[in-house]
């Protein structure tokens, strides 16, 4: 099936046209600065170099129309697109699995939007636009939270008053679920089923872990929002929740200022004082920058702590996978995290760890108590496969 996968943000829209039968990506790109001066589209076809196209994108409707226009101009018959898959950040209590778009399911995306206001409203608008512009093409919602929805209650429930929790739907929702689900699927295929208790490490600018036992999610690190858990590029990760009240009461910060501080001004950026990009931090650390060295040490420490927490939720683990921007590309980060876990018998083959490849690969030693892999994630393919499954019915 030929599927167009769309990932919409408040001022951006990423897209990928792919074939579910072969996994071939015919075209992909990103529309940036939608509704802002200086908007542009980065587009590439069949693995060719990316072109930057300066184009006015006053709204998402214009961006979607432009995507279809550029695909047509490139020779792709857009009439042959058989489905559109939409990545939705927050599925709330309505999406324990992916669903075909109807008036009801689209309404649900808007209803749960207060849990992810910067994303869900834009995503709902884009879904509506696609239905209006291309009424003959089926649309599917794939929520990032779905994979985590059925974790045990002891893992998702917060120790807050029940009436408050129930009224405001407060619980651990997690994120990156589509990526973690793909990692399980791909790892099981690669290891011919010889995996039972897997810790999936999605390490990028946004980062989370997932404990997956025989394909079922048992625990994850992100919580009500993607702020919880690991130290990330600009997010602080888990801290004492009373810090929010303290900053407001003693620091004089507004709730919006605290929210911005914790989501956009913290994490590796704050620790390093240099950058949110791990490549910049690694380079500066090698050059002797003490702040950057501390940032890396804290990242290794916190990540390894939570890997152990994920393992505890399954009462052990036999496999660990690194994925996403940092996990796939930084041998330094992988080695640093693995060394923190040596007490658990994790052993990395340092030469294998240095190899760069777009394919799944084992980087642990023969005597490692836990098999360690690098598996490139492919959320777009996972979304497209859901589209194929649901629309085929």
β-strand partners of 201: 209, 322
pTM (predicted TM-score): 0.92
**Residue from 34, 110, 44 nearest 65 by CA:** 34
Q: For residue range 219-269, what is the model confidence (pLDDT) as tens digits?
A: 999 999 989 999 999 999 999 999 999 999 999 999 999 999 999 999 999
Active site residues: 144
The dotted CATH code for 193-379 is 3.30.420.40
DSSP summary character for residue 341: T
Q: Where are the beta strands (DSSP E) in the chain?
A: 2-8, 12-19, 25-32, 40-45, 51-54, 83-88, 99-100, 138-143, 197-203, 207-213, 216-220, 319-323, 361-362, 371-374
- Mean pLDDT (the chain, rounded): 94
pLDDT recorded at residue 47: 67
| DSSP, residue by residue, 45-106 | ETTPPPEEEE----SHHHHHHHHHHHHHHTT--GGG--EEEEEES--TTT-SS-EE--HHHH
**Cα 141 to Cα 178: distance, rounded to the nearest angstrom:** 12
Contact 222, 228 (CB under 8 A): yes
Contact 199, 153 (CB under 8 A): no
Residue that the structure tokens 């807050």 belong to: 160
pLDDT recorded at residue 8: 85
pLDDT recorded at residue 317: 98
Cite the annotated binding site by residue number.
7, 14, 87, 202-206, 277-279, 325-329, 379
CATH 3.30.450.20 fits 2-143, yes or no: no
**Cα 121 to Cα 10: distance, rounded to the nearest angstrom:** 8
**Residue from 174, 173, 87 nearest 124 by CA:** 87
Residues of the chain with CATH 3.30.420.40: 2-143, 193-379
Cite the annotated binding site for Mg(2+) by residue number.
7, 379
pLDDT over 90 (residue 347): yes
Confidence tier at 133 by pLDDT (50, 70, 90): confident
pLDDT recorded at residue 75: 82
Cite the annotated binding site for ATP by residue number.
14, 202-206, 277-279, 325-329
């Amino acid at each position: 099936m030929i599927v167009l996968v769309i990932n919409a943000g408040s001022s951006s829209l990423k897209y990928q046209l792919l074939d579910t039968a072969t996994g071939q990506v015919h075209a992909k790109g990103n529309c940036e600065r939608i509704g802002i001066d200086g908007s542009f589209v980065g587009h590439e076809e069949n693995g060719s170099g990316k072109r930057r196209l300066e184009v006015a994108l006053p709204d998402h409707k214009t961006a979607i129309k432009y995507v279809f226009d550029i695909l047509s101009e490139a020779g792709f018959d857009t009439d042959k697109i058989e489905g559109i898959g939409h990545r939705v950040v927050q599925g709330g209590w309505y999406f324990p699995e992916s669903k075909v778009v109807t008036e009801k399911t689209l309404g649900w995306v808007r209803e749960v939007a207060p849990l992810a206001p910067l994303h869900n409203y834009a995503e709902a608008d884009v879904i509506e636009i696609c239905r209006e512009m291309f009424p003959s093409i089926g649309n599917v919602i794939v929520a990032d939270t779905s994979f985590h929805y059925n974790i045990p209650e002891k893992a998702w429930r917060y120790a807050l008053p029940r009436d408050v929790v129930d009224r405001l739907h407060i619980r651990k929702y997690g994120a990156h679920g589509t990526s973690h689900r793909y990692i399980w699927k791909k790892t099981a295929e690669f290891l011919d089923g010889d995996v039972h208790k897997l810790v999936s490490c999605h390490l990028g600018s946004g980062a989370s872990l997932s404990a997956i036992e025989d394909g079922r999610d048992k625990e994850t690190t992100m919580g009500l929002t993607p702020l919880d858990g690991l130290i990330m590029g600009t997010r602080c990760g888990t801290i004492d929740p009373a810090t929010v009240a303290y900053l407001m009461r003693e620091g004089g910060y507004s709730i919006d200022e605290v929210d911005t501080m914790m989501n956009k001004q913290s994490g590796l950026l704050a620790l390093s004082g240099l950058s949110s990009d791990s490549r910049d931090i690694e380079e500066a650390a090698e050059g002797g920058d003490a702040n950057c060295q501390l940032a890396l040490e804290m990242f290794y420490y916190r990540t390894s702590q939570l890997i152990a927490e994920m393992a505890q939720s399954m009462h052990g683990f036999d496999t660990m996978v690194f994925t996403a921007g940092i996990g796939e590309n930084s041998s330094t980060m992988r080695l640093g995290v693995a060394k923190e876990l040596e007490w658990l018998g994790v052993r990395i083959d340092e030469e294998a760890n240095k190899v760069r490849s777009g394919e799944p690969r084992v980087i642990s030693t023969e005597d490692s108590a836990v098999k360690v892999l690098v598996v490139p994630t492919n959320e777009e393919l996972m979304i497209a496969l859901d589209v194929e499954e649901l629309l085929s019915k």
